């Protein structure tokens, strides 16, 4: 079957990380011989051509979940992080990066390819932490290009999908220093691993399901426990983790400072004050009505070029059937409701948290909610 005229379905693509989580991702994967559990596979990388930067097997916990990794993954000799995809109704997995390389204009659009080549310039993940993540910071694109010989930094955004029912406290994240240390103070805190002092630089920022936050490169941050979210970011795994132990696992030296040392990595940090007012004006991204899609159906913009040149995010709310014919690719995630998607003469059932890739040259396709459906749409930067 030709891949043209078909959507790409995205099976689970679980990736090892240094923190614990993944119980809710296990549940989404369906019945398994093993009960859902929090392990070192708390992330699902979606339509990814990005390779995960992880310690070697000798320096990490390598217990692999059962069905969570999916039999599909074992059929492909893929580097960790790169996605397998399914074309239309076919159950044979394909290497997403290879598909893009073989027909980039079809999948990504001619204008995108002219500017970026066969790379999507986008990485999307499900994150499902059971514990607070390490305190961390990512380089900006300018820093990565100048000092790390990397094309992308890691500005990222979070769209909160759900919160665990058994969370004993209100959900939160840390975002920017509310009480910035000096460079020398931060160096001492990190060297001593004075976590209480590091934590005192932050306030807990409350979050709710449906919230969207943008975290520019350079801004220190940490996700709180119990959040299931879609993370949308530049296609990079560059990170400075300035807290070394979480969940019983101590980071090896190679996983702390991008192989460059602490003094170099202190240049990555934004030491400005991120007050509550600044967070809710510069980081929180409330929906803004973009267009009507039909009677009682509409599309909101969550993040556009005025927020960042790195990616775009919008959300469609469907209360009736719509026909679409896009000329841009995007990653779609069902955030609520259910329905069907029809493309290329095939109809696919959709439920909450299903995900798919719409090629730029897909042609006309139809969404039929039953009776309602919300669709998160993650797009690469404008060409």
If you write DSSP's letter for every residue of 366-377 in order, what string do you get?
Answer: EEEEEEEEEEEE
Contact between 315 and 377 under an 8 Å Cβ cutoff? The reply is yes
CA-derived radius of gyration, the chain: 20
Among 12-16, 65-69, 178-182, the range of highest mean pLDDT: 178-182
Query: Domain 8-283, what fold?
Result: Jelly Rolls (2.60.120)
**Model confidence, pTM:** 0.93
Query: How far is residue 261 from each of residues 182, 216, 242, measured CA to CA in Å?
Result: 18, 22, 11
Fold for the domain defined by 288-379: Jelly Rolls (2.60.120)
List CB contacts of 75: < 8 A, sequence separation 6 or more.
84, 93
Report which DSSP code applies to 280.
Answer: I
The pLDDT confidence band at residue 66, using thresholds 50, 70 and 90, is: very low
Contact call for residues 341 and 7 (beta carbons, < 8 A): yes
- Measure Cα distances from 59 to 54, 68, 364 in Å: 9, 22, 49
Neighbour count for residue 276 (Cβ, 10 Å): 10
How many CB atoms within 10 Å of residue 350? 23
Give me the mean pLDDT over the 314-335 stretch: 96
Question: For residue 53, what pLDDT is reported?
Answer: 79
Q: Which of 130, 271, 134 is nearest to 195 (CA)?
A: 134
Residue 254 pLDDT exceeds 90? no
Each residue of 333-352: pLDDT tens digit?
Answer: 999 999 999 998 899 999 99
Q: What pLDDT, in 10s, does the model give residues 178-237? A: 999 999 999 999 999 999 999 999 999 999 999 999 999 999 999 999 999 999 999 998
Higher pLDDT, 73 or 78: 78
Backbone angles phi, psi at 123, to 5 degrees: -135, 130
CA–CA separation, 168 and 148 (whole Å): 41
Of the pLDDT bands very low, low, confident and very high (cuts 50, 70, 90), residue 67 is: very low
Phi, then psi, of 289 in degrees rounded to 5: -60, 125
Residue with the larger pLDDT of the pair 54 and 312 = 312
Cα–Cα–Cα angle for 228, 153, 276, nearest 5°?
Answer: 55
d(CA 166, CA 129): 13
- Residues 6 or more apart whose Cβ sits within 8 Å of residue 362: 5, 6, 7, 326, 343, 344
Contact between 315 and 212 under an 8 Å Cβ cutoff? The reply is no
**What is the average per-residue pLDDT within 273-277?**
97
Mean pLDDT of the chain: 92
Question: Which runs of consecutive H residues, i.e. helices, occur in 35-182?
Answer: 70-74, 96-102, 104-108, 110-116, 141-147
- The CATH 2.60.120.10 domain(s) of the chain lie at 8-283, 288-379
The Cα–Cα gap between 208 and 306 comes to 24
Checking if the pLDDT of 125 tops 60, the result is yes
Alpha helices (runs of H) in 205-335, residue ranges in sequence order: 262-265, 276-278
On whether the CB atoms of residues 187 and 266 are closer than 8 A, the answer is: yes
Distance, in Å, from the CA atom of 230 to the CA atom of 266, rounded to the nearest integer, reads: 28
Residue 298 has pLDDT above 80, yes or no: yes
């Amino acid at each position: 079957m030709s891949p043209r005229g078909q959507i790409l379905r995205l099976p689970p693509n679980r990736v090892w990380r240094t923190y614990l989580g993944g119980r809710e991702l296990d549940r989404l994967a369906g019945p398994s011989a093993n009960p859902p559990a929090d392990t070192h596979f708390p992330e699902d990388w979606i339509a990814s051509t990005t390779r995960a930067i992880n310690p070697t097997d000798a320096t990490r916990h390598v217990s692999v979940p059962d069905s969570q990794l999916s039999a599909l993954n074992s059929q492909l000799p893929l580097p960790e992080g790169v996605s397998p995809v399914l074309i239309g109704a076919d159950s044979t997995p394909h290497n997403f990066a290879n598909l893009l390389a073989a027909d980039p204009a079809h999948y990504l659009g001619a204008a995108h390819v002219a500017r970026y080549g066969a790379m999507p310039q986008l990485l999307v993940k499900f994150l499902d932490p059971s514990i607070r993540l390490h305190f961390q910071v990512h380089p900006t694109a300018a820093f990565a290009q100048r000092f790390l010989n990397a094309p992308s930094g890691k500005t990222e955004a979070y769209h909160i999908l759900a919160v665990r029912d058994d969370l004993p406290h209100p959900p939160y994240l840390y975002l920017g220093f509310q009480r910035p240390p000096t460079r020398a103070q931060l160096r001492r805190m990190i060297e001593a691993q004075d976590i209480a002092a590091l934590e005192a630089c932050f306030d807990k920022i409350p979050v709710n399901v449906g919230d969207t936050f943008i975290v520019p490169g350079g801004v220190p941050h940490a996700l709180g426990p119990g959040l299931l979210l879609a993370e949308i970011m530049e296609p990079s795994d560059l990170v400075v983790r300035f807290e070394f132990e979480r969940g019983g696992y101590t980071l090896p030296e190679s996983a702390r400072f991008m192989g460059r040392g602490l003094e170099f990595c202190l240049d990555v940090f934004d030491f400005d004050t991120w007050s509550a007012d600044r967070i809710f004006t510069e980081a929180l991204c409330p929906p803004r009505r973009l267009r009507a899609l039909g009677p009682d159906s509409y599309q909101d913009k969550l993040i556009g070029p005025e927020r960042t040149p790195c990616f775009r995010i919008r959300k469609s709310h469907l209360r009736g059937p719509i026909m679409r014919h896009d000329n841009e690719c995007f990653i779609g995630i069902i955030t609520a409701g259910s329905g069907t998607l029809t493309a290329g003469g095939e109809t696919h059932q959709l439920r909450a948290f299903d995900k798919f890739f719409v090629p730029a040259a897909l042609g006309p396709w139809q969404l039929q909610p039953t009776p309602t459906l919300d669709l998160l749409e993650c797009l690469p930067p404008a060409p």
